[in-house]
Structure formats: C-alpha cells, structure tokens
Structure 1
C-alpha cells in the first residue's frame, strides 16, 4: 500500500468522526475535532507524521493538510447546527470527501486511467454520502427510522450523486488535495438542493443518473468533452432533470450534442486555418459552464419559484423562457462560430471590414444562417415539449437566440481579449439571450 493510499484511508476513518455530531451532539463532535487538531499540531515528525503528511507538509513540518481538513468539517458542522442545513447533509458531505478520496487513491495505484479514477471516486463518494445521511437520520429521527430513511431515500441518492459529481469536478479543475474547498462547496450545494425540495421518486433519480452518466461518457468517448467537461455536463444534466424535468433536459442536451458535434465539422480544415478548438475539439468545464451557467441558474430559479422560495412569487414559466433563450443563444453562437469559421471571408461585425478567419467579432453570412438554424432547433423542441411555448413563444426564442449571438459577436469585437475572456463573453451573451426571451415572453403574455 503506497503512502497516498494509507494517508487517504486514515483521512476516510477520520471523516467518519462526523457521525459523532448526530450521535452525541455538537459538543461531542467539537471535542473529537479538537483532539485531532491538537494531535496534528503536536506531531511534527516520525512515522505518524509520515503517515498523515502531504508532500507540502514536509516544508513546514506541520500536518496542515489534516488540520485544514478537520477545520473545514468543523466549519460545515457549525453551519449545520446554526442554520437550516441538516445534520444529514453535513455528515454525508464529510464522508463523501473522505471515502471518495480513498477510493480514488486506491484505483490510482493500479491504473493511470482518468476515467477509472473519476468513476471510483464518484461511486464510493456517492455510497458514502448516502450511508452518512441514512445513519444520521437513524440517529436523529424520533419517528419510525426505516420509514424516515425510506421517505428521504430519493433525496439522499440525489444529494450523494450531485455532491460526488461536484467534488470530482473540483478535484479535476483545482487540485486533488484541496479538500477544504471541495467539502465546503459540496456541502453548500447539497444544502441548496434540499431547500429546493426535489420530488423525484427513487426510480426517477436512478434513471436520471443513468441517462446523464451514459450521455456524458458518450461525449467523452467521442472526444467532444474532456473529463472536466464530461463531469460538468453530467452534473448540469442531473440537476436539470430532477429540478426541471426531462423536457428541460432534452433542450439542454440538444445544445451539448449538436454543439459538440459541430466542433468536429471540417476539423482538419479549421486546424489548418488556426481556428480549431483546442484538445481536438473536446469541450472543457470552462466552455460548458460559460455556455450553460445561465441555463442552470434558470433551472434553479424555476425550482425555487415552484417551491415558493422566491420573493414576489414569480411565475415559474418566466424561468422556462429564460432557460430556452440562454440555450438558444449558446446553440446559435456555437453553430455560427464552428460552421462560419471555415469560410474565408469574415467581416468584423462593428465595421463590416474584412478580417482574418478566427478574429474575435468576425462573422460570415454562412455562420449567421447556421446560428439562426440553431436557435430554430431550440425553439422547435421547446414548442413541442412545453405547452407554455406557443407559436409566438417559439418565435421569441428564435429572436432571443439571434440577439444573444449578435451580442456575443459585438463583445468579441470590442471587449474580448482586453476586458473579457472567451468564457466571460459566452456567459454575458447567454445572459442577454435569457433576459430578452424572458422579457419578451412576459410582454407578449405567453406565460399564460
């Protein structure tokens, strides 16, 4: 057993101490945390230090990795006992990080496959989170324990899967040993998801996980997404299905599928012209979030309004149009860029002067037509799947997508490269498409 595996295994055991809070109360958990921290401060060398130390700990002769791990758990525990965050979320999150890390290190000892390592982390982390939540419910619920666990089972699986995906994503895009950041981020996400009151049944949650994981892996296998991009897509897809519904997911996945494949359109020619996406066209988490962050916020807004958590009690249909407008913009912009970039006569959108292919803000009529078609695809799917989207509503979605695509080009010609990066431009463009779609939809009374 290698040093990283031994260290991760001990951290997993320490994470189990989180169950002391639901078992013995906050003071019991605080006492255990204090013992671990004081012990970590006292041990500065020797075999125990070697067992628990990260490579960076040797520079200062302190077990800072262990100390920050425990402090993050303490911070999350304080949030849990002083706010509406449940102890089940707290315990499940700490166990998720501890045991997920141990599984990832164990598999890394046997293979260099990133997919295998991420899969092991997510599977074990999900199970650990579910077990942590179930044990906490059993220790704290005053009614029938089995009945309480059974009634909250679907939410436990949803939180475990969502938390594991976010943790795996953060470990990939940040640093695999940033446990405090991962733990706090996962805990806050799970707290939010509980407040949104997801109502899916156990078969519905399992089906959502199966569908999103399968499609995510296909995107990775086809090299349209990196590991981080795959994890981001799966997480966003899962949240969309559970909090919105399969109709919302179909709209979102249409962008991921068509947009991802469009990056392969005449890829060799794009490489020759110097306008191809990096990594053989595989989309990373930044690209996925830049295009889909507004959409997922709209999904969360829809769930919050449905759960009566939004001030002013807004119509949930408002968020549906914002969602469709943002996806239409992302689709329009992606198709416009990927298809229009292979034509060698782009013009700068602000002056209409000829520019080199790949110039920010350069547009071609072929790309504009492709962008219009992309918005029409999103509008057509929305029209078929959502009764709220009438013929006028579909037209509004198309218009919002085209407006958002134009905003993207204008920002590219004026601010990209100096004030904004590519992902910032994508975010602002999809935000403009969402706002335009929601405002026009409200103005034309298509929200019923």
Structure 2
C-alpha cells in the first residue's frame, strides 16, 4: 500500500466518524474542532506520518488535517445554527474522503487524468449514497421514497466535486467539501419528482454523452465533467425536452469546432487543444442556461411564471449555438469586418464578422428554436421566433463586446457569459411582451 493510499484511507476513517452526527452533531463539531487544534501542534510520530501530505512535511505541521477538521466542524455548526440537513453534511464529507481514496487506488493502477477523475467520481458517488442511507436509517426516516433524490444528490455532488478538484489543488479539499455541501443543500430543497429508474437513466445518458465527448476529443476532462453535470441537472430538474435543446448546442458546436480545423488554425481562430473545450468554455456558454433550469425548478416559490425561465433557457442556448457557429464557420473565410465600423480586419480579430458566419449563426439560432417548438407545447411558432431573435441578438452582443472591451478588460469566457445572459434576457423579455408565458 502506497503512502498516498494510506493517507487517503486514514482521512476516510476520520470522515466516517461524522456518521455520529446523525444522533449527536454537537459532539461531532467539538470532536473535529479538537482534532483541528491538536493537528497544528503535532510535528512528528505515527499520526504525523499517517496524515502528512508532502507540503505538510516541508512545513512540519499537519495543515491539511487541520483544514479538513475545521471545515468539518464548521459544517456541523451549520447543521446546528442554520439548518443544513444532517445527511447533506455527512454525505459531503464522506463523498470527499472516499472519493479521494478511490482516486488514489485508481492512480496506482493507471496514473492518468481520466482514470483518477473516474475513480474519484465513482467512489464519491457510492459513498454519498451509502452515507445518506445510513443517516436516514439511524434517524428513522423513510428511505424508499427518497431513493431518487438520494441518487441525484450523490451524482450531482460527485460530479461537482470532481470538477472542482480538477481545477484546484489538494490543499483546497476543505473548500471543495464546503461548496459541495452548500450545493447539495440547494438541490435537496428543490422539488424533484423523478423515479429511481428515471434518475438512473439520466445518469447513464449523461455519462455516455460525457464519455463520447472525451473519446472524440471534443472536450477535455474538465469540460467533460462540466458538460455531464449540466446535462444531468437539466434532465432531472427540467426534463428531456430541455436536455434535447442543450445537447443540440453541444453536438453541433462540437462538430463546427472540428469543421476545417486546419484552415482555422492557419487563420489563427482555431480553438486550442485540437478543439477540445475546457470547463471554463463550457460554463461560459451554459452557466446562464443552468441558472434558468434551477430557477424553473424553484419557480413554485418565485413570483414569475415558470415558462419565463424556459424562454430564458432557450434564448441562452440559441445565443451559444449562434455565436459558436458564427465563429467556427465564419472563421474559415477571409476578409472579416469589424462589426462596429465595418472596416476589414485580420482573421481572428475580436469583433470581426463575415456574412457567412452571420448566416451560420442565424441558422444555428433557428435550429434551437425549431427544436423548442417541436418539443414544447407552450412555445408555438411565435415563441420559436422569439427564441431565434434572442439567439441572433445575443450573437450580436457577443461581437459588439468583442470589438469594444474583450482582450484588455475581459476574456472570451466572460464575453460568452454576458452574451448568453443577454440572449436569455431577450428571450424572456420578448416572450413577456408577446404575452407568451402562461
């Protein structure tokens, strides 16, 4: 057994102690606060050797153990003070520690990023399910009726923590644990009406989608995790029609990225990493859509018709599709013009557009609108026109931002976010003006 596996196993055993919180959460808070304090004065011996990370050894202090213990104690305090669900608290801790253990075991077999990420995600997923079931059984709460939400929380938590860990350092694990707990608290408070079969099918579909995107080199590991998480939340909180709209962007966007890639590379407009999109790129294009799905799921508590969020979702996706096709198709043509002055600029200039790209973008927005019309009875032809206009409008905003403030002030991912936000606002606003939301 390697040092890394032993250390991960020790943290897993320590994390398992949080199960005591099912009956005595104050005791867990006090225990981990004490462990955190003691770990700052331990600088040698068996305990130090067992829990010390490489950075701890160089500093002579168990800072990793202290940070984990204090974060666990802090979550326990949230249970007592503000009502964080006990099973969410314990699930977040067990997800992290057993995910880490599974990752280290996977690395000992094949030390690649995809293997490590898969090991962490699967290990954390199983641990979060088991932890929730144990907490519910100890408390005497019914388990059978909560199986779908148990699986959903475990899957979304594992994907979210895997995503965070792929972009953060090992020393940031307490931040990951805290973030996962707060996210799962939000999800646990939403109304999720799915069966175990439906949530299992959703996980299978999104996992398959993520694997294909990675195998085809259309997404990095981080981009794959981001896409799978977004797809899972969209299916469970929105439904399969919402997922169909989302997946249309990912599929056509990926194909357009590969379209005449060498020509785009020559023109200096090709995506890096052979077109494989990272997590930041995926989030920049789909974060607004995710917010719209979450708002839709919580619409029974908001003073806004749920259909408004559907138009916001479709408008943001239409913008992402329109902008992506405009850039990827238009990038193979020479002589772009700056959208603000219509003067010729070099290929790859921010804000530079071609008529071919604009046409491709308009067609992309129309594709999203058509899918929405076919799958949602509440959309209709007028609603489809609203979505197409929102997508084209958002694409135009993207180009305007590129010509004016992108580069020195903000990056491409921020521009994508602002453009999709404008598409969402246009979609929802035009729908309200047209009296479409019921």
Query: How does the TM-score come out when normalised to structure 1?
Result: 0.96
SS in 2 for 1:37: helix
Q: Distance in 1 between matches of 2:19 and 2:418?
A: 43
- Using the TM superposition, name which of 50-59 and 228-237 deviates more: 50-59
Counterpart check, 1:301 vs 2:300:
no
Counterpart check, 1:352 vs 2:342:
yes
- 1:100 is matched with 99
**RMSD between aligned alpha carbons?**
1.1
Q: Distance in 1 between matches of 2:105 and 2:97?
A: 13
Whether contact under 8 Å (2:336, 2:354) holds in the other structure is: yes
- 1:9 is matched with 9
SS in 2 for 1:342: coil
Deviations 1:233-284 (A, max 9, x none): 0000000000000000000010011101110000111112221100000000
Whether contact under 8 Å (2:26, 2:76) holds in the other structure is: no
- Report the number of matched residues: 438
| Aligned counterpart for 1:182 among listed residues 176, 181, 187 | 176
Whether contact under 8 Å (1:361, 1:411) holds in the other structure is: yes
- 2:120 is matched with 121
Extract unaligned runs of 5+ from structure 2: none
- 1:261 is matched with 255
Whether contact under 8 Å (1:346, 1:354) holds in the other structure is: yes
Q: Distance in 1 between matches of 2:79 and 2:375?
A: 39
Q: Distance in 2 between matches of 1:113 and 1:22?
A: 37
Counterpart check, 1:342 vs 2:336:
no
- 2:131 is matched with 132
SS in 1 for 2:301: coil
- 2:202 is matched with 208
Q: Distance in 1 between matches of 2:112 and 2:25?
A: 41
1:39 is displaced (CA, Å) by 3.4
1:198 is displaced (CA, Å) by 1.1
Whether contact under 8 Å (1:247, 1:385) holds in the other structure is: yes
SS in 2 for 1:49: helix
Pairs within 5 Å for 1:14-413: 14-23=14-23, 25-141=24-140, 148-305=142-299, 308-310=300-302, 313-413=303-403
Whether contact under 8 Å (1:171, 1:177) holds in the other structure is: no
Q: Distance in 2 between matches of 1:413 and 1:38?
A: 53
1:185 is displaced (CA, Å) by 0.7
1:383 is displaced (CA, Å) by 0.1
Q: Which consecutive segments of 4 or more residues in structure 1 shift more than 3 A?
A: none
Q: Distance in 2 between matches of 1:294 and 1:424?
A: 12
1:114 is displaced (CA, Å) by 1.9
Whether contact under 8 Å (2:406, 2:415) holds in the other structure is: yes
1:37 is displaced (CA, Å) by 2.2
Q: Distance in 1 between matches of 2:412 and 2:288?
A: 15
Counterpart check, 1:414 vs 2:404:
yes
Query: How does the TM-score come out when normalised to structure 2?
Result: 0.98
1:38 is displaced (CA, Å) by 3.8
1:20 is displaced (CA, Å) by 1.2
SS in 2 for 1:109: helix
1:85 is displaced (CA, Å) by 2.2
Whether contact under 8 Å (1:17, 1:32) holds in the other structure is: no
Deviations 1:332-378 (A, max 9, x none): 00000000011011000000000011100000000000000000000
Deviations 1:129-178 (A, max 9, x none): 0111111111123xxx5xx1111111111000000000100010112342
1:51 is displaced (CA, Å) by 1.7
Q: Distance in 2 between matches of 1:32 and 1:138?
A: 23
1:397 is displaced (CA, Å) by 0.6
Whether contact under 8 Å (1:81, 1:87) holds in the other structure is: no
Q: Distance in 1 between matches of 2:165 and 2:374?
A: 39
- 1:441 is matched with 431
SS in 1 for 2:406: coil
Q: Distance in 2 between matches of 1:170 and 1:183?
A: 10
Whether contact under 8 Å (1:255, 1:327) holds in the other structure is: yes
Deviations 1:276-308 (A, max 9, x none): 100000000000000000000000000010xx2
Q: Distance in 2 between matches of 1:58 and 1:176?
A: 15
Q: Distance in 2 between matches of 1:78 and 1:192?
A: 18
